């Protein structure tokens, strides 16, 4: 039997343990009180990069006597033992927010559960997430594992970023008083474009088409065609872009540049059309009018309903309304840009998250 055949016989979980053991390294830490951000994005999803940056900035504002330490998701298994040896009871463990809780992104959920299991004596705060689930056996098993792991931790706070997720989490953990469920906006909405390093422009021009083409897309080929025709009919230059740049194990400086460049690109447009959640949020931060379309799950629609109803520069269209998209495009193109130092939600919406962090 050759080496390749032998490797196939080794269980995946064992392979991960071996890789972590072989790649383990020490991580020097500040000597004072620490607040960790686990699973920080070091890959080219600009929405996740924005979450990582906004979460760090939020923690630095709220926990002024703590050093905030980001642990890149690609390095989690390699530095976990080092952190476990240095952890103190006064340290706080936070886990990145986003839309990767559940069964759609099992590798990330597996790492989240690994972190939760690794620090039983520390408060765990899971920043605002969207939970995904369906009626499949695979999804039901994923939810069972989440409940089993999370419920064993004596002091864990799990925040949803929209009400459909919070209702499901309340249902799942109804019997476990140690699992504290909360509802706050996506953490990126606690930031603003100026803080995140956006470059202003003299005069916005053109339209950005920021539409996804992955497993979360909900638009049909006919609907894409309707959108493209309506955009072309405006007479403005149309530029296609995305919030996914690709790449992995990226340097922090490169991630920062991806984020600031994208925000500046949004700021320089007269209008953005998107079906990405952070396409919508980054657009609002940049002050640019935004036409939003649904994706395949509830995260965009419910975020808009829960937190952004009545926003003056945002229009959300259901799929059946796309035939009338030209009217909404014309209306949004007539609007002026907003300021870059505004957050789209009231900061008081994050009070429950703040209480979970400071009540140590």
Q: What is the mean pLDDT of residues 238-267?
A: 94
Mean per-residue pLDDT for 304-328?
95
At 135-151, the pLDDT tens digits run 899 999 999 999 999 99
What is the strand order of the sheet 271-274 is part of? 238-240, 207-210, 271-274, 290-292, 314-316
| Residue 49 burial (CB count, 10 A) | 27
Q: How confident is the model at residue 360 (pLDDT cuts 50, 70, 90)?
A: low
Both tokens of residue 283?
Answer: 């657009």
Q: pLDDT class for 18, splitting at 50, 70, 90?
A: very low
Nearest to 246 by CA among 257, 256, 238, 258: 258
Residues 6 or more apart whose CB falls under 8 angstroms from that of 220 comprise: none
Q: Taking the C-alpha atoms of 298, 304, 307 and 313 in order, what is their torsion angle to the nearest 10 degrees?
A: 160
- Average pLDDT value for the chain: 92
DSSP string, 226-263: HHHHHHHTT-S-EEE--SB---SS--HHHHHHHHHHHH
pLDDT at 217: 87
Tokens 């033992």, residue? Answer: 81
Structure-token pair, residue 152:
């064993």
Q: CA 351, CA 174: separation in Å to the nearest integer? A: 22
pLDDT at residue number 195: 86
Residues in CB range of 132: below 8 A, 6 or more apart: 99, 101, 102, 103, 104, 139, 297
- pLDDT for position 230: 97
| Whole-structure pTM value | 0.91
Q: Which of 9-18, 49-58, 63-72, 150-159 has the lowest mean pLDDT?
A: 9-18
For the ranges 90-94, 105-109, 296-300, 303-307, the lowest mean pLDDT is seen at 296-300
Each residue of 94-119: pLDDT tens digit? 999 999 999 888 999 999 999 999 99
Mean pLDDT for 257-286 is 95
Specify the 3-state DSSP secondary structure of 147.
Answer: helix
| Residue 222 contacts residue 230 (beta carbons within 8 Å) | no
Rounded CA separation 76/83 (Å): 10
Cα separation, 336 vs 204, in Å, equals 10
pLDDT, tens digit, for every residue of 170-205?
999 999 999 999 999 999 999 999 888 888 877 899
């Amino acid at each position: 039997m050759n080496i390749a055949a032998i490797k196939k016989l080794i269980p995946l979980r064992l392979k991960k343990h071996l890789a972590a053991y072989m790649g383990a390294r020490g991580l020097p830490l500040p000597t004072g009180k620490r607040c960790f951000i686990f699973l920080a994005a070091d890959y080219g999803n600009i929405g996740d990069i924005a979450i990582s940056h906004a979460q760090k900035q939020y923690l630095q504002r709220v926990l002024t006597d703590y050093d905030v330490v980001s642990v890149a998701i690609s390095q989690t298994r390699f530095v976990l033992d080092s952190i476990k040896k240095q952890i103190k009871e006064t340290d706080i463990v936070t886990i990145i927010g986003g839309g990767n809780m559940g069964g759609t992104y099992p590798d990330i959920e597996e790492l989240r559960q690994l972190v939760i299991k690794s620090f039983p004596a520390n408060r765990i705060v899971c920043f605002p997430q969207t939970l995904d689930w369906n009626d499949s056996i695979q999804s039901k098993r994923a939810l069972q594992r989440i409940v089993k792991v999370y419920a064993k931790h004596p002091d864990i706070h799990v925040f949803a970023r929209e009400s459909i997720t919070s209702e499901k989490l309340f249902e799942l953990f109804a019997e476990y008083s140690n699992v504290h469920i909360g509802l706050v906006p996506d953490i990126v909405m606690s930031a603003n474009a100026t803080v995140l390093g956006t470059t202003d422009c003299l005069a916005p021009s053109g339209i950005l088409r920021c539409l996804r083409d992955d497993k979360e897309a909900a638009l049909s080929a006919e609907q894409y065609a309707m959108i493209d025709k309506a955009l072309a009919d405006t007479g403005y230059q149309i530029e296609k872009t995305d919030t996914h740049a690709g790449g992995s194990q990226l340097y922090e400086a490169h991630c920062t540049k991806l984020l600031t460049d994208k925000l500046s690109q949004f700021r320089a447009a007269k209008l953005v059309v998107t079906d990405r959640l952070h396409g919508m949020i980054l657009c609002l931060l940049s002050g640019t009018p935004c036409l939003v379309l649904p994706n395949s799950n509830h995260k965009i629609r419910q975020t808009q309903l829960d937190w952004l109803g009545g926003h003056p520069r945002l229009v959300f269209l259901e799929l059946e309304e796309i035939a009338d998209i030209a009217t909404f495009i014309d209306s949004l193109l007539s609007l002026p840009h907003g300021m870059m130092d505004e957050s789209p939600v009231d900061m008081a919406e994050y009070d429950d998250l703040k209480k979970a962090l400071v009540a140590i």
